Amino acid sequence: MAAENLMLSATQKGLGTCVIRSFHPILIQKLLKVPEHIFPEFLVLLGYPDKWPSIPKRRALDQVVAYNLEEKQ
pLDDT in tens, 16-71: 999 999 999 999 999 999 998 998 999 999 999 998 888 889 999 988 888 876 76
Locate all alpha helices (DSSP H) within 1-73, ordered by sequence: 2-12, 25-31, 61-64
Query: What's the pLDDT score for residue 7?
Result: 96
Query: What's the pLDDT score for residue 73?
Result: 58
Query: What's the pLDDT score for residue 72?
Result: 62
Q: For residue 13, give the nearest of 38, 58, 48 by alpha carbon.
A: 48
Contact call for residues 48 and 15 (beta carbons, < 8 A): yes
